[in-house]
Structure 1
Amino acid sequence: MAEMTVAQLIAERLVSQGVRRIFGLCGGHIQPLWDAVALAGIEVVDVRHEAAAVYMAHATADLSGELSVALVTAGPGLTNAVTAMSNAFVARSPVLVISGRAPRPQTGMGAMQDIAQAEIVRPICRLVEQVSERHHVISRLDKTIAAALGAVTGATGPAYLDFPTDLLVETVHDADIPALAMEPREAAEPAPSQSAVARAAQLIRASSRIVVIGGRSVRAAADEVRTFLDAAHALYLDSGESRGAIRDDVPGFVPAVRGRAMSEADLVITLGRRLDFQLGYGSPAVFSPDVRFLRIGTSFEELGETRRGEVEVYGSTRAVLTALTEDGLTPEAPDLDWLTDMQKANAHRARKLQTKLQSPELDSDGRMSPNFVIGAVNDLLTDGSVAIADGGDILSFARVGLKPVDYLDCGALGCLGVGVPFAIAAALHRPDESVVAVIGDGSFGFTAMEIDTAVRRGARAVFVVVNNEAWNIERHDQADRFDGNLVGVDLPGCRYDQLARSLGAHGERVEDPGELGDALKRAIDNAPAVVDVLVSRQAKSPDYLSGLAEVPPRQAVGPWNAAEFKRYASQ
């Protein structure tokens, strides 16, 4: 082995893993590693805030299905990344976060930027490692990579390790590299047991109204899901973490009748999906009281959390569905009339939505509806596009109205500020495809400076700021529930188009709905670009109308919460 430093060895291990791009922000504690990864041929995408680095790694991991890496410096560099690490943890995205820490001779002496980094991030990581000796470097790095890919706990997600700066410049010897530890790790793909598959097949055959709900694992198993849906005469509902994997060309895809499908199914099959607040925790107040659950996943949170399944199958979605299809899983008495009725109802609602998306619906101030902006964005999207939604109010409109292309959003954590870094990462990952982020004006403020990163790195994304000059869900809530006492909810006068131009990006402001389509086309041609679109603040989003802003006590939305209280009152 040629003589190399610990930093160079780490870089070589990342190269062997297939890491081609790292997101980060430089700092003294990581400078030896920063230099080493660049010299090893890994592209370093330097950002303006460490949270953005982890957001970008998160988006890249979700779109590629592979490990992605963020590199942040010690102390505030690491703490700046914590929110984004939390988001990746809830989303179960395989992100490796590497940091530096104070030199070993200064440990415990109040060194610069010396804090309990591992203890801060331990609750939001699949594994946390701190390396202090050169002969531990590769084995611990290998272990954290495996943990991020799901090989340690069964669940993918962020893993963390750090190195003291003085260790990074030590010279490595042959004995410091364990056999095979430089070999790449692959994402876990566990096969199910035959007995579990047999129980699942029996449950499917005995059911007549089957609804499949897709989680993040569907991104890697779209073909198998399509085959399964056809064989099982099943309907399909997606979620933000799987949207775009199954699209409108699948007859069973019925997103417009989501609530009805959930309440009328006699069997619900979850594919790598938690029964979190977005699915009413699997409660009989949301689903039929007689429904049975078949849960498929690789961790407890996907298999038994909140509500146990009548059958729980441990295994990857691809492996389990392949085994079920081979086992002959057609239901003995499928309710085909129900299936047809649901498909017709979905088509009817989709047509009504399309009408809304095409109408500006000007309010009393002459401002267009947020729905009209979503419709105009849809006109830009192709089969290869990536769409991103970020915000409070606008996320609700976008989640309902955007075409089912590959899609990322704030996720179950509701983490505002992901839109700009997600879109930059997507544009770098797919440079030949259109990437459009629909972002609320409040949310845009969290990471707006990353437009500079887009310009410097040539990330040709379009950022559509849907600007109602307010934190609008909270504004409506204060108006309706708190006697119009508006406190800290107005954001007037900001010119996000001018900010974009000051950072070297294309920027336009649109107030006339008749000018929006052409402005978006110019943005695509001149990306990176910001289109600042003034919209109605009078429009109330689906999430607001559902009561989400009130944060009800038992369920996330008002109708489910009322149903939950009714269920308890009847017992």
Structure 2
Amino acid sequence: MTEPASPSPVSGHGGTHAVAAARRHGVETMFTLSGGHVFPVYDGAVEADPQLRLLDVRHEQTAVFGAEAMGKLTGHAGWAVLTAGPGVTNGVSALANAYQGGAPLVLLGGRAPESRWGQGLLQELDHPPLVAPITKSATTARTTADIAATVETAFATANAAHRGPTFVDVPLDALYDQAEATPASPAPDTDRSADPTDVATVARLLSAARRPVFVFGSDVWLDGAASTAREVAEELGVPVVTNGQGRGVLPGSHPLLATRARGMALGQADLVIVVGTPLDFRLNHGLFGGTDGAPLARVVHITDAPDQIATHLDLAGSASGRLEEVLRELGNTAKPGAELAEWRELLRSAGAEAMERDAALLTAETTPIHPARIYGELRSVLDSDAVVIGDGGDFVSYAGKYLEPDLPGHWLDPGPYGCLGTGMGYAMAARLTHPSSQVVVLMGDGAAGFSLMDVDTLIRHRLPVVMVCGNNDAWGLEKHPMRALYGYDVVADLAPQTRYDQVVTALGGGGELVTRPEEIGPALNRAFAAGIPYLVNIATDPENAYPRKTMGV
């Protein structure tokens, strides 16, 4: 067998080497905000063949959110480049969001020059110790010759399971200097085969269960297992609950999708097999069953990497490895019993009853507007391949309840870290990744205050998206729980009916204020037909609170 040829050395300044390394990992867009410490990286992008897209934003966190969304949408690391000091620190919250959500991205930061380090230089800060707790790796490429291999390693690490962000900073003098460097050879694939004994144990548990449920999470999509997950659920006839980017693995109309009967599915199951998502607060930390006299359910955790398996509770079984392979083997070996048909019908009936109860809210004629009415209108205008982005609290919780994507990878939310302000960065990545699909950002008025200035970015780069703002004049996710705890609320009110639509119009987009329910549908139609960034600012009932059973902690 002939050994593969070694990569040929490349000459150029440090920015050339950084861009070449990113391009070798499929990067087509650099999210950035201009800064002198990283000028050579821009030069490398301009000189690249084909030229790398430079997408410049108005706040560094938006650049990192854009790179995070690229990772979430494609399964391959996005790229953000930020200048030194405050450029990097402005991106820290977005970096933490990607880390908590397992989204692959590489953040390259500028750095004060190595030759004069310690002399109180402009924006001098040792970034790696700051970001190490929220990245898979954080390092400095100290010489020009180090840059290519360091950036290559950062991308490989970000893209390896369990996925997540990595960080590299490069001193200014290393970026500007010239050197010859040899690109790193591709690392061999690591063995991610699951232990057959572990999979066999899960198969036995599933075969013996009378009321099993699958929970499919984001890593089912990111690990390339979405189609296999659907096939296995259908082959076995096991009901499914989804979360994160697992939403859409089964389309909203699928008879096995038990999302509308989620409480019953997870409360009366005797076995819950959680695939590709942590057993965190979104899943009651793995405590399932126990409702209406049912015993606690046995829990199986299947993850893309061994270190992701939950350790805070006793599991009935677990497995880790390539999720596609684990699920396929489970489908080949498990033999669920005849009782499963009765369980499916119970959940189907409960889901149908829930939808019937919801019908009145989805068509409510009340003024002020009930948030659910907005989703009743949206459901009628969204295409099957629409990309839906949630950026908010209570308003987006309603979206999770009433909107169900038809395709995996077409739902984006901040994930378990819950960082507000993701909307504009996510929208940019979604429009670039899905140029012919509808892209809609659902935001509360609180979230709007974090990121609407980056509508300017959408305008300048000709990235049309529709924004729907549920404007209830408050930090609703805080206002109502505080009232419940103390009998009053403070620091939770925003100005009434703020004209966020006029902010978008002033920046060059379009928008309008909606105050009556019958105005919602026509406004949405105008927004999708506009072909520009367009915000439908909908005044919703400030007294309405999303009906949570817990505060999620």
TM range (shorter): over 0.9
**1:272 corresponds to which residue?**
276
Find the aligned partners of 1:85 and 1:465 in 2 and give their Cα distance.
25
Matched, 1:317 2:344: no
CA contact (8 A) 1:204 1:232 kept: no
Asked if 2 retains the 8 angstrom alpha-carbon contact of 1:273 and 1:297, the reply is yes
Tell me: CA distance 1:534–1:497, structure 2 relative to 1, closer, same or farther (3 Å): same
CA displacement 1:108-160 (0-9 Å, x = unmatched): 1211111121111000001111111233222222221121112xxx4211100
Aligned counterpart for 2:199 among listed residues 190, 194, 197: 197
Q: Report the Cα distance in structure 1 between the residues aligned to 2:41 and 2:113, rounded to whole angstroms.
A: 14
Q: Which amino acid aligns with 1:291?
A: A
- Partner amino acid, structure 2, of 1:237: V
Asked if 2 retains the 8 angstrom alpha-carbon contact of 1:420 and 1:444, the reply is no
Partner of 2:6: none
Amino acid at match of 2:113: P
Deviation at 1:439, TM superposition (A): 0.5
CA contact 1:298–1:316 (8 Å) conserved in 2: yes
Q: TM-score, normalised by structure 1?
A: 0.89
Distance across 2 between alignment mates of 1:206 and 1:347: 28
State the alpha-carbon separation in 2 of the partners of residues 309 and 108 from structure 1. 51
Return the match for 2:542 from 537, 540, 546.
537
Equivalent in the alignment of 1:76: 86
Find the aligned partners of 1:149 and 1:453 in 2 and give their Cα distance: 27
* 1:149 and 1:188 in contact (8 A); partners too: no
Secondary structure, counterpart of 2:389 in structure 1: strand
Partner of 1:503: 507
Residue in structure 2 matched with residue 26 of structure 1 by the alignment: 34
Among candidates 354, 360, 365, match of residue 349 of structure 1: 354
* C-alpha deviation, 1:4, in angstroms: 1.5
- Superposed displacement of residue 283, structure 1: 2.5
1:532–1:50 Cα change, 3 Å? same
Whether 1:305 aligns to 2:307 is no
Separation in structure 2 between the aligned mates of residue 500 and residue 374 of structure 1, nearest angstrom: 22
Instruction: Tell whether the 8 Å contact from 2:10 to 2:17 is kept in structure 1 after alignment.
Output: no
Please give the residue correspondences for 1:138-157 in structure 2 after superposition, counting only pairs within 5 Å: 138-150=148-160, 154-157=161-164
Other-structure match for 1:569: none
| 506-515 vs 450-459, which moves further | 506-515
C-alpha displacement at 1:289, in angstroms?
4.5
2:268–2:289 Cα contact (<8 Å) kept: no
Q: Secondary structure at the residue paired with 1:340?
A: helix
Residues 234-272 of structure 1: CA distance to partner in whole angstroms, max 9, x if unpaired? 110001232122213432111011121112212111111
Deviation at 1:506, TM superposition (A): 1.0
Check 1:286–1:421 CA distance in 2 against 1; reply closer, same or farther (3 A cut).
farther
**CA–CA separation in structure 2 for the residues paired with 1:291 and 1:95:** 36
Identity of aligned residues (%): 31
Residue 294 of structure 1 pairs with residue 280 of structure 2: no
Segments of 5+ residues of structure 1 without an aligned counterpart are 549-555, 558-571
User: Match of 2:520, SS?
Assistant: helix
Tell me if the contact between 1:22 and 1:45 (Cα under 8 Å) persists in the aligned partners.
yes
Instruction: Give the Cα separation in 2 of the matches to 1:294 and 1:68.
Output: 32
CA contact (8 A) 1:215 1:241 kept: yes
Q: What does residue range 516-531 of structure 1 map to in structure 2 within 5 Å?
A: 516-526=520-530, 527-531=532-536
CA 473–314 in structure 1, closer or farther in 2 if over 3 Å, else same: closer
- Please provide the CA RMSD for this pair: 2.0
With over 3 angstroms needed to count, the CA separation of the structure-2 counterparts of 1:72 and 1:263, relative to structure 1, is: same
For 1:509, give the aligned amino acid: L
1:372 alignment counterpart: 373
Distance across 2 between alignment mates of 1:390 and 1:349: 25
| 2:437 aligned to which of 433, 436, 441 | 433
Could you list the per-position Cα deviations for residues 306-354 of structure 1 after superposition, in whole angstroms to 9, with x for gaps in the alignment? Answer: 234322212121111122223x322245432122111111122123223
Matched letter for residue 369 of structure 1? H
Secondary structure of the 2:503 match is helix
**Offset from partner CA, 1:169-223 (integer Å, 9 cap, x none):** 22222xx31552xx4x799782223222222222222222111111112223222
Q: Partner letter of residue 27 of structure 1?
A: G
Q: Which residue of 2 aligns with 1:5?
A: 13
Contact 1:231 1:330 (C-alpha < 8 Å) held by counterparts: no
Name the SS for the 1:449 alignment partner: helix
Q: Given the alignment of the two structures, is residue 14 of structure 1 paired with residue 26 of structure 2, yes or no?
A: no
> Paired residue for 2:421, among 410, 413, 417?
417
The count of residues paired between Structure 1 and Structure 2 equals 535
- Residues 225/189 of structure 1: CA separation in 2 closer, same or farther (3 Å cut): farther
Once residues 442 and 75 of structure 2 are traced to their aligned partners in structure 1, the CA distance between those partners, rounded to angstroms, is 23
> How far apart are residue 495 of structure 1 and its match?
0.9
Match for 1:400: what amino acid?
K
Gap change, CA 1:195 and 1:66, over 3 Å in 2: same
Match runs of 1:181-260 below 5 Å: 183=186, 190-219=192-221, 220-260=224-264
Aligned to 1:228, the other structure's residue is in SS state helix
Determine the C-alpha separation between the residues in 1 that align with 2:458 and 2:545. 32
**Matched residues in 1 for 2:131 and 2:327: separation?**
35
2:421 alignment partner, SS class: coil
Shift of 1:294: 2.1
Distance 1:542 1:54 in 2: 32
- Which is further off, 217-226 or 123-132? 217-226
One-letter amino acid matched to 2:56: D
Q: 2:118 aligns with which of 108, 125, 134?
A: 108
1:455 paired to 2:459: yes
Distance 1:487 1:315 in 2: 46
Contact 2:13 2:40 in 1 (8 A): no
Give the corresponding residue for 1:562.
Answer: none
Deviation at 1:25, TM superposition (A): 0.7
2 CA distance for matches of 1:323 and 1:420? 40
Asked if 1:36 is matched to 2:41, the reply is no
Q: Conserved in 2, the CA contact under 8 Å of 1:464 and 1:530? A: yes
Give 1:18 shift. Answer: 0.9
Give secondary structure in 2 for the equivalent of 1:412.
Answer: helix
Unaligned runs of 5+ in 2: 1-8
Aligned residue number for residue 158 of structure 1: 165
Task: Give, in angstroms, the shift of residue 2 of structure 1.
Answer: 5.9
Judging changes above 3 Å, is the alpha-carbon distance between structure 1 residues 383 and 488 closer, same or farther for their aligned structure 2 residues? Answer: closer
Q: Which letter maps to 2:418? A: G
What code does the residue aligned with 1:324 have? L
Distance 1:408 1:66 in 2: 15
Aligned residue for 1:444, secondary structure, equals helix
- Aligned equivalent of 1:487: 491
